[in-house]
Amino acid sequence: MVRRSALSVGALALVVGVALFPLLAGCSSGVGPPPASLGLVQDRAVPASVAGIPLYGPSGRRTDLAGLKGKVALIAPFMTLCTEMCPITTGELGKVVAALRTAGLEGKVAVIEISIDPGRDTPERLSAYAKMAGATWPLLTTTPPSSTPPSPLPSAPSSALANLASIARFFGWLHQTVPEGSPPATDWWTGKPLTYDVDHSDGFVLLDRSGRVRFETVAPATTGGVLKGPLRSILDSQGLHNLASPASTAWTVADALDAIGWLRGSAIPGSS
């Protein structure tokens, strides 16, 4: 997939239609907001039309963004068939979740990944990905559960595609279905050749406890070159390059914890 994370902060401002807040904006606890070099500090409400969009996890249970109120939430776009950046992102989010658990904040901060590939990312596939990746945090899709076997072609209901478009448009996530490479990659779950790919942006969004968007970055994640287990095994040559040579603007676990601590009003162990 094409890495969209090279988008500048200024370009992100144009996408989401907001202005960059001064660096001193935010909480008065002494924990500062993320730097402008990482992304946009902002303050905008999530409209009910977006907050109420149905999302489904590996169990098929319905949820939505409105249910996050009362928690700081980190939300990242991803897809289970990404071979360039998403495995790296998922690996780093696992470290964020572990740090939050150690700090006793697992029930007070939500970490979520939302699929930008509803044509293939059914709850059933999310369940397989969660087991493969060891993900204990919510992996969500706009595609409801179905007894229909997974298809190699885009097969999401029109409502799922429309709902994803609404979420992506609000958060400024870029995504575009493109032809699969030649020779095509193999689906790690079904073992069948893939028939299309999705170019998409990276990064994450932060919501405060009132459910308002307070920060967004399109920077990719970095592991410092280390990613073990099944997640590393699904990286292609570009993914291995991204792992070994991350972008200079890439976010780290410490960056994510710093940003979460800013919204919570106190530093989190493991932050910088």
CA-wise closest residue to 123 among 138, 145, 142, 152: 145
The separation between CA 233 and the C-alpha centre of its own chain, rounded to angstroms, equals 20
pLDDT of residue 151: 52
Structural domain contains residue 271: no
Q: What is the pLDDT of residue 9?
A: 43
The model's confidence at residue 147, banded by pLDDT at 50, 70 and 90, is very low
- pLDDT computed for residue 154 by the predictor: 53
Least confident of 55-64, 138-147, 261-270: 138-147
**d(Cα 217, Cα 256) in Å, to the nearest integer?**
10
How many domains does the chain divide into? 1
Residue 87 maps to a domain? yes
pLDDT tier, 24 (very low <50, low <70, confident <90, very high otherwise): very low
Instruction: Look up residue 3 and give its DSSP letter.
Output: B
More confidently predicted of 271 and 15: 271
> Is residue 143 in a domain?
yes
Residue 83 lies inside a defined structural domain of this protein: yes
Cα-based torsion angle of the residue sequence 131, 191, 204, 179 in order, rounded to the nearest 10 degrees: -170
pLDDT digits (tens, 9 = 90+) for 162-185: 999 999 999 999 999 999 989 999
Domain of 102, in residue numbers: 4-264
Q: Report the C-alpha gap between 87 and 133 in whole angstroms.
A: 8
Assess if residue 250 is contained within a domain: yes
**What is the pLDDT at residue 176?**
94
Q: How confident is the model at residue 20 (pLDDT cuts 50, 70, 90)?
A: very low
pLDDT at 58: 96
CATH code where residue 227 lies: 3.40.30.10
